[in-house]
Amino acid sequence: EAGVAQSPRYKIIEKRQSVAFWCNPISGHATLYWYQQILGQGPKLLIQFQNNGVVDDSQLPKDRFSAERLKGVDSTLKIQPAKLEDSAVYLCASSRSSYGYTFGSGTRLTVV
Protein backbone atom coordinates (compact mmCIF):
# COMPACT_ATOMS: atom_id res chain seq x y z
CA GLU A 1 0.00 0.00 0.00
CA ALA A 2 1.14 3.56 -0.62
CA GLY A 3 2.56 5.36 2.40
CA VAL A 4 1.67 8.66 3.99
CA ALA A 5 2.55 11.47 1.60
CA GLN A 6 3.70 14.85 2.86
CA SER A 7 4.76 18.03 1.11
CA PRO A 8 6.84 20.04 0.91
CA ARG A 9 9.89 18.15 2.21
CA TYR A 10 11.68 21.34 3.23
CA LYS A 11 10.63 24.91 3.87
CA ILE A 12 12.61 27.96 4.95
CA ILE A 13 10.67 31.07 5.99
CA GLU A 14 11.30 34.24 7.90
CA LYS A 15 9.75 34.75 11.32
CA ARG A 16 6.26 36.22 11.24
CA GLN A 17 5.59 34.68 7.81
CA SER A 18 2.97 31.99 7.30
CA VAL A 19 3.46 28.43 6.08
CA ALA A 20 1.28 25.44 5.27
CA PHE A 21 1.98 21.73 5.16
CA TRP A 22 -0.03 19.07 3.37
CA CYS A 23 -0.63 15.44 4.21
CA ASN A 24 -2.32 12.61 2.31
CA PRO A 25 -2.86 9.58 4.59
CA ILE A 26 -3.01 5.91 3.69
CA SER A 27 -6.26 5.09 1.99
CA GLY A 28 -8.85 3.84 4.45
CA HIS A 29 -7.10 5.19 7.55
CA ALA A 30 -9.70 7.17 9.42
CA THR A 31 -7.34 8.60 12.02
CA LEU A 32 -4.78 11.25 11.13
CA TYR A 33 -2.21 12.86 13.41
CA TRP A 34 0.15 15.81 13.17
CA TYR A 35 3.27 15.62 15.32
CA GLN A 36 6.04 18.16 15.86
CA GLN A 37 9.57 16.80 16.24
CA ILE A 38 12.16 19.27 17.47
CA LEU A 39 15.77 18.28 16.81
CA GLY A 40 16.96 15.77 19.40
CA GLN A 41 13.51 15.12 20.83
CA GLY A 42 10.68 12.66 20.36
CA PRO A 43 7.59 13.51 18.34
CA LYS A 44 5.02 15.59 20.21
CA LEU A 45 1.35 15.41 19.27
CA LEU A 46 -0.20 18.58 17.87
CA ILE A 47 -3.61 17.36 16.73
CA GLN A 48 -5.56 14.16 16.09
CA PHE A 49 -8.41 13.82 13.62
CA GLN A 50 -10.94 11.02 13.41
CA ASN A 51 -12.37 11.25 9.90
CA ASN A 52 -12.84 15.03 9.58
CA GLY A 53 -13.50 15.70 13.26
CA VAL A 54 -10.93 16.83 15.84
CA VAL A 55 -10.38 14.31 18.65
CA ASP A 56 -7.48 15.95 20.50
CA ASP A 57 -5.97 19.38 19.91
CA SER A 58 -5.02 20.10 23.51
CA GLN A 59 -1.34 20.65 22.65
CA LEU A 60 -1.90 22.73 19.52
CA PRO A 61 -0.85 26.41 20.00
CA LYS A 62 -4.13 27.70 18.67
CA ASP A 63 -3.05 31.33 18.59
CA ARG A 64 -0.77 30.53 15.65
CA PHE A 65 -1.40 26.94 14.52
CA SER A 66 -4.46 25.66 12.71
CA ALA A 67 -5.30 22.40 11.00
CA GLU A 68 -8.13 21.01 8.97
CA ARG A 69 -9.05 17.73 7.38
CA LEU A 70 -11.60 18.24 4.66
CA LYS A 71 -13.74 15.30 3.57
CA GLY A 72 -11.92 13.07 6.04
CA VAL A 73 -8.93 12.48 3.76
CA ASP A 74 -6.18 15.07 3.14
CA SER A 75 -5.11 17.45 5.86
CA THR A 76 -3.30 20.76 6.04
CA LEU A 77 -1.44 22.27 8.98
CA LYS A 78 -0.84 26.01 8.98
CA ILE A 79 1.36 28.26 11.08
CA GLN A 80 0.69 31.99 11.09
CA PRO A 81 2.76 33.85 12.16
CA ALA A 82 5.80 31.60 12.54
CA LYS A 83 8.28 31.97 15.38
CA LEU A 84 11.91 30.85 15.57
CA GLU A 85 10.94 28.09 18.02
CA ASP A 86 8.64 26.55 15.40
CA SER A 87 11.71 25.24 13.57
CA ALA A 88 11.15 21.48 13.59
CA VAL A 89 10.09 18.51 11.51
CA TYR A 90 6.33 18.25 11.15
CA LEU A 91 5.24 14.65 10.86
CA CYS A 92 1.91 13.39 9.65
CA ALA A 93 0.76 9.90 10.56
CA SER A 94 -2.33 7.84 9.89
CA SER A 95 -3.78 4.70 11.38
CA ARG A 96 -6.82 2.53 11.78
CA SER A 97 -6.13 2.56 15.53
CA SER A 98 -3.28 3.61 17.80
CA TYR A 99 -1.86 0.10 17.40
CA GLY A 100 -0.40 0.87 14.01
CA TYR A 101 0.73 4.36 13.17
CA THR A 102 2.37 4.92 9.78
CA PHE A 103 4.37 8.12 9.56
CA GLY A 104 5.23 10.19 6.52
CA SER A 105 8.77 11.44 5.96
CA GLY A 106 7.88 14.83 7.37
CA THR A 107 8.39 18.47 6.43
CA ARG A 108 11.50 20.13 7.82
CA LEU A 109 10.70 23.75 8.67
CA THR A 110 13.41 26.29 9.33
CA VAL A 111 12.33 29.71 10.61
CA VAL A 112 15.02 32.41 10.28
Partner 1 sequence: QQQVKQSPQSLIVQKGGISIINCAYENTAFDYFPWYQQFPGKGPALLIAIRPDVSEKKEGRFTISFNKSAKQFSLHIMDSQPGDSATYFCAASMGGYSTLTFGKGTMLLVSP
Binding site for partner 1 (CB under 8 A): 4, 31, 33, 40-45, 48, 50, 55-56, 91, 93, 97-106
Question: Which amino acid makes up residue 4?
Answer: V
Nearer to partner 1, 63 or 99 (CB): 99
Nearer to partner 1, 8 or 16 (CB): 8
Is the separation of the CB atoms in 29 and 96 below 8 Å? yes
Residue 100 CA, distance from chain mean position: 17
Shortest distance, position 58 Cβ to partner 1, whole Å: 10
Nearer to partner 1, 28 or 99 (CB): 99
Shortest distance, position 27 Cβ to partner 1, whole Å: 18
φ, ψ at 3 (rounded to 5°): -85, -170
Between CA 21 and CA 9 the distance in angstroms is 9
